[in-house]
Amino acid sequence: MTSPLIHIVQKRYLKPQTPKCRVGDTVDVHCRIVEGDKERVQVFSGVVIAREGSGIDESITVRRIVGNEGVERKLPVHSPNVVALKVKRHGKVRRAKLFYLRKRVGKARKLREARVHQKSTATEPELAVSTT
């Protein structure tokens, strides 16, 4: 349980818009990398296998396969080094943590795609068709 004073201080550092990514989603995470005096953005794409924390402490674990070797990164969602987080597809899962994917290889590693229905917030005006 944190005090209201801590919430006020942490509120300044929260990102205003974070995409709604869930466990099982395939995401592209754009990370800022500093090499010497140069700075670049590197994309890390993979499946979200875990989420934990809340508020400023919220983090996700993203897993991908590189050269037949599994690579995982635990990324704080509100970090200034995470430039962007884009959801490529939604996976249909029934678990909160997908650590069982670590043992799977090949096609057994694939997740079923979940259908996501997007509600349109802006109502489009209907065009009236005249018959004259």
Residue 3 lies in a domain: no
Structural domain including 84 reads 8-101
- Tell me, what's the pLDDT at 68? 85
Phi/psi region, residue 8 (left: phi>0; alpha: psi -120 to 50; beta: rest), is alpha
State pLDDT tens for residues 57-98. Answer: 899 999 999 988 899 999 999 999 999 999 999 999 999 999
Number of domains in the chain: 1
- Tell me, what's the pLDDT at 110? 79
Contacts of 118 (CB under 8 A, 6+ apart): none
Q: What is the CATH number of the domain that holds 82?
A: 2.30.30.790
Residue 112 lies in a domain: no
- Tell me, what's the pLDDT at 127? 46
pLDDT category, 2, cuts 50, 70, 90? Answer: confident
pTM of the model: 0.78
Residue 131 lies in a domain: no
Taking the alpha carbons of 52, 57, 58, 60 in that order, is the dihedral positive or negative? negative
Angle, alpha carbons 85-118-16 (nearest 5°): 40
